[in-house]
Structure 1
Amino acid sequence: MPDVAAPENNTKLDAPARQQKRHRNPEKTQAMILAAAKKVFARVGLGGARIEAIAEEAGVNKRMIYEYFESKDQLFLRVLEAAWTDIRTAEAKLNLDSLPPVDAIRTLLTFTWDYYLKNPEFISLVNSENLHRARHIKESELFTQLHTGFVGMVERILNRGVASGDFRPGVDPRQLHLTLAAIGFYYLNNRFTGEVIFGFDFTSKEALKARLEFNIETIMGILRPV
């Protein structure tokens, strides 16, 4: 008698079956969609992004995306909220209130610089939302909650620095943080045109080290007592 092949136990699911299995885990499915949307939005912006491209990146069908998100704009908002949640959560773990004021500013500045380097999508997403005049985050209660108390944290560091004699009085905490963030954001956001203008590789190891040192010295120069 001819041999009868034993049934295989590792038969792969076809595409519809895989999607149905993912659909039974809504949290995982939403996470996959958000991760895919982040990549697509960062690559081509809100205007250039297509739901079909996001679905393909996530490995789901277009219909499934609309089961979780009402529109592309809502999906973009959720991506923005997740991006800002990530950076603010990471900042909170720095425990800046427990550090001496000079160390706290250095730590915050270095963290911000390193975060931009490790998360280039964040810069692209912020640029895209600014092109749309922040109309998405204006409607977000979560975005407001994420930044409640943030200026107060910077202000406490400044006040402690003034009391210890390390910082001069009168520095606006909002202006300080804007400068602290911008000094790294501008450099990395404009690195391609900058490399043409100034004639060196902005992201070489040596250039990044020199830039961070310059950023720290610039911010400390703003804060030092006159």
Structure 2
Amino acid sequence: MTDSQSRPKPAKTKPKTGQRDPERTRALILEAATSEFAEKGIGGARVDAIAARAGTNKRMLYHYFGDKDQLYTAVLGNAYAGIRNAEKKLNLSGRTPEDGIRELALFTWHYFVDHPEFLSLLGTENLHRAEYLKQLSYIPEMHSHFITELAQVLKRGEADGVFHAGIDPLNVYLTMASMTCFYLNNHYTLSTIFGRDLMSDDNLDAWMQQIVSVTLASIRAR
């Protein structure tokens, strides 16, 4: 037997996290950071905790995102992209004007109910006066496309005599979003004050219908 045959083969080195699947590692870090920032805000969030949640280490986190501020900005951009991309699946242009508005109102409600972390991130960013959001130059254009599509639905409704003239699409969206956000952001205090569980299924369904009714009533032709 030769020396090369008797000599043990070196063990294969296991690829470090991020080297084997960088896209997956990046996604895991984003997901972990979203939870951490939503729970603790940017001031209370810790890089160590984010890395632990993601099953990686700080070195990999810094490699992909730079620092905590840059990671928070990436989380914020990802959150906005999530809701806008989901809205694209509604196909508002393929519905009647009233059905389009109804579907958008229902979608807005359900999205915020299902993604409480989005509301938390919005709260954090408003505390910082949109300091980080302003760094994302693509955000206005992303929302511009959405508002343009909503405006087209309203114009079709106006042409059909269903909606009154001169409706501002931003005001319509703010009606839906504000009724949704106020209810969900304040359900603990409101439930305590009025002695009603606002997060029960019956109350959630009732408020959802209220949002649809108020939104449509505000734009219907008189």
Please, what TM-score do these two structures have when normalized by structure 1?
Answer: 0.89
Aligned to 1:100: 96
Q: For the residues of structure 2 that align with 1:174 and 1:121, how far apart are their CA atoms?
A: 23
Residue identity in the other structure for 1:142 = Y
Once the two structures are TM-superposed, the CA of residue 209 in structure 1 deviates from its matched residue by 0.8
Residue identity in the other structure for 1:204 = S
Aligned to 2:67: 71
Aligned to 1:187: 183
Q: For the residues of structure 2 that align with 1:162 and 1:118, how far apart are their CA atoms?
A: 32
Q: For the residues of structure 1 that align with 2:210 and 2:130, how far apart are their CA atoms?
A: 31
Paired residues in the alignment total 211
Residue identity in the other structure for 1:45 = G
Q: For the residues of structure 2 that align with 1:80 and 1:24, how far apart are their CA atoms?
A: 26
Aligned to 1:208: 204
Q: How does 1:5-154 map to 2 (within 5 A)?
A: 20-154=16-150
Q: Deviations over 1:168-206 (max 9, x none)?
A: 112211111111111111100111111111211111010
Once the two structures are TM-superposed, the CA of residue 144 in structure 1 deviates from its matched residue by 2.7
Once the two structures are TM-superposed, the CA of residue 148 in structure 1 deviates from its matched residue by 2.6
Aligned to 2:221: 225
Q: For the residues of structure 1 that align with 2:24 and 2:131, how far apart are their CA atoms?
A: 28
8 Å Cα contact 2:18-2:60 kept in structure 1: no
Q: For the residues of structure 2 that align with 1:119 and 1:34, how far apart are their CA atoms?
A: 15
Residue identity in the other structure for 1:53 = A
Please, what TM-score do these two structures have when normalized by structure 2?
Answer: 0.90
Q: For the residues of structure 2 that align with 1:99 and 1:161, how far apart are their CA atoms?
A: 11
Q: Secondary structure at the match of 1:184?
A: helix
- Structure 1: runs of 5+ lacking an equivalent: 1-15
Runs of 4+ that moved beyond 3 A: none
Aligned to 2:151: 155
1:181–1:96 distance in 2 versus 1, CA, 3 Å: same
Q: Deviations over 1:68-113 (max 9, x none)?
A: 1111111011111111111101101111011100000000000010
Once the two structures are TM-superposed, the CA of residue 141 in structure 1 deviates from its matched residue by 2.3
Residue identity in the other structure for 1:50 = R
Residue identity in the other structure for 1:156 = Q
Residue identity in the other structure for 2:203 = A
Q: For the residues of structure 2 that align with 1:144 and 1:68, how far apart are their CA atoms?
A: 25
- Structure 2: runs of 5+ lacking an equivalent: 1-12
Larger deviation, residues 100-109 vs 174-183: 174-183
Q: Secondary structure at the match of 2:138?
A: helix
Once the two structures are TM-superposed, the CA of residue 21 in structure 1 deviates from its matched residue by 4.1
Report % sequence identity: 43
Q: Secondary structure at the match of 1:36?
A: helix
